[in-house]
Amino acid sequence: MIPLAVIIETRVVDDMTVICEDRGFPQLQPSKTFISPVPSPTDYQFSFGPWNISEGTDPFGPPVRDFFPHEEKFALFKPMGFDGVQFHDDDVVPNIDALSPEQIMTKAGQVASMLKNQGLRAEFVAPRLWFAPETIDGGYTSNSAADRNYAWERTKRTVDIARAVGAKAVVLWLAREGTYIREAKNARVAYQRILELINRVLEYDSTIEVWIEPKPNEPTDVAYVPTTGHAVALSWASCDHARVKVIIESAHAILAGLDPSDEMAFALAHEKLGSVHLNDQNGLKFDQDKNFASANLRSAFDQVLVLEEGGYGRSGEFIGLDVKAMRTQPGLPVLDHLRNTREFFQLILEKVRSYDLQRVETFRSDRDYEGLERYTIRHLLGYE
């Protein structure tokens, strides 16, 4: 069996050698607590993507709302209190596959100007590697060399677009990097190909960050990077681990049978939480993208507690929302879910900031978890 590190080394070219020498083992920082008293509370900035506005369909029927023009969506962010925009590559440059590199950069430059005029920041750009015919069986892990090359070329364009619009990161949601039947691909080779892709991005651009968004299933039956742990392992295995982070979606963690707040804490412990997609999920079903806190209020509280305690957001990280409008909701455009989720976060933040950590410490040292549970539930219900 060939260790992953050997595979990377064989692909290194001269000008990358320096970057790739860094193979430091994780040095976890002593835990820092940012909960009060801190000099100034975190001023959270919020973001979402244009796909979160109005759209929404399911496999059992046609769209239920009229189309809302893509280009008109960006004027809606600021008035709702959002400063960041999350993009797919073709959210920035529609019809990207039909355009030349020069045309792509011209359009990206126009979007950069639009963002500046609107007072918005691009948070990240993600290659949409799940619509094109070349990605039917995956991008980076496709069995077809030609399709893998398409995925790489499109990822390079995504990095170029990210630079042009001022985003510091590309996000890899590895949508089709998995299988419908496990015998379809060689899983060990698939992992090597994903790691190789990450290294190629790091080598292609010396400052761009790569944020991996884990998800255990859907659209494939089983995905190769299902959890935060997988993504963090890929980060440490990469040739510049400080630039490889994770974006955690609450619902994806739930779909993996894991606790979203623990997933976030794990990434924070490794200083690798690039962003979050806060939302909610009612059990093991399709990816629901429900309003944050709408299915499990206590879990939402725990997530905000971990983010606040871990100092998330103090270095410009966004509170990203990935919530979808309910199919039943009338209107054009439908925005209530975005306003609601932002409000729910802030109301829960008040609960986090008024949670008495001294009392929590006492319950912990007394091992009185019944007492801690009673205090926590009464606090959430407004009795304490």
CB of 300 to Mn ion, least distance (A): 15
Q: Is 295 in the site for Mn ion (CB under 5 A)?
A: no
Helix (H, G, I), strand (E, B) or coil at 135: helix
Q: Judged by CB, which is closer to Mn ion: 159, or 267?
A: 267
| Selected range binding Mn ion among 145-153, 173-181, 265-273, 288-296, rule: CB under 5 A | 288-296
Helix (H, G, I), strand (E, B) or coil at 285: coil
Give CB contacts under 8 A, 24+ apart, made by 100-107. Answer: 101/157, 101/160, 104/157, 104/160, 104/161, 105/160, 105/161, 105/164
Closest CB to Mn ion: residue number: 287
CB of 230 to Mn ion, least distance (A): 17
178-179 vs 222-223, strand pairing mode = antiparallel
Whether the CB-CB separation of 216 and 176 falls below 8 Å is answered with no
What residues contact 329, with CB distance under 8 A and at least 6 apart? 65, 336, 337
Residue of 22, 70, 83, 88 marked active site: 88
Q: Judged by CB, which is closer to Mn ion: 51, or 140?
A: 51
Q: CA 118, 44, 47, 324 torsion: positive or negative?
A: negative
CB of 381 to Mn ion, least distance (A): 29
Measured distance CA(52)–CA(229) in Å, rounded: 27
Residue of 89, 91, 280, 289 marked active site: 91
**Total residues at interface with Mn ion (CB under 5 A):** 3
Helix (H, G, I), strand (E, B) or coil at 290: strand
Q: Judged by CB, which is closer to Mn ion: 82, or 173?
A: 173
Instruction: Tell whether omega for the bond before 226 is within 30 degrees of 0, i.e. cis.
Output: no
Helix (H) or strand (E) holding 196: helix 187-204
**Residues 70/71/72/76 CA torsion (nearest 10 deg):** 90
Among 289, 302, 308, 317, binds Mn ion (CB under 5 A): 289
91 a catalytic residue: yes
CB of 318 to Mn ion, least distance (A): 17
303 residue type, one letter: Q
CB of 340 to Mn ion, least distance (A): 17
Q: Judged by CB, which is closer to Mn ion: 93, or 223?
A: 223
CB of 251 to Mn ion, least distance (A): 5
Phi-psi category of residue 119: left, alpha or beta, with phi > 0 → left and psi -120 to 50 → alpha: left
Q: Judged by CB, which is closer to Mn ion: 48, or 363?
A: 48
Q: Judged by CB, which is closer to Mn ion: 139, or 216?
A: 216
| Selected range binding Mn ion among 20-28, 84-92, 186-194, 280-288, rule: CB under 5 A | 280-288
Q: Judged by CB, which is closer to Mn ion: 289, or 302?
A: 289
Among 209, 213, 263, 287, binds Mn ion (CB under 5 A): 287
What residues contact 183, with CB distance under 8 A and at least 6 apart? none
369: buried, middle or exposed (CB in 10 Å: 19+, 13-18, 0-12)?
Answer: exposed
CB of 338 to Mn ion, least distance (A): 15
CB of 281 to Mn ion, least distance (A): 8
Q: Is 251 in the site for Mn ion (CB under 5 A)?
A: yes
58 a catalytic residue: no
- Could you give the C-alpha distances from 271 to 42, 222, 241, in angstroms and in order? 17, 27, 10
| Selected range binding Mn ion among 37-45, 169-177, 284-292, 329-337, rule: CB under 5 A | 284-292
Chain Cα centroid distance, residue 283: 20
In the shown chain, the binding pattern of residues 315 to 354 toward Mn ion, with x for contact by CB under 5 A and - for none, equals: ----------------------------------------
Site for Mn ion in 145-164 (CB under 5 A): none
Measured distance CA(323)–CA(290) in Å, rounded: 6
| Selected range binding Mn ion among 23-31, 49-57, 140-148, 287-295, rule: CB under 5 A | 287-295
| Selected range binding Mn ion among 281-289, 294-302, 349-357, 358-366, rule: CB under 5 A | 281-289
Name the residues that contact Mn ion, by CB under 5 A. 251, 287, 289
Active site residue ranges: 88, 91
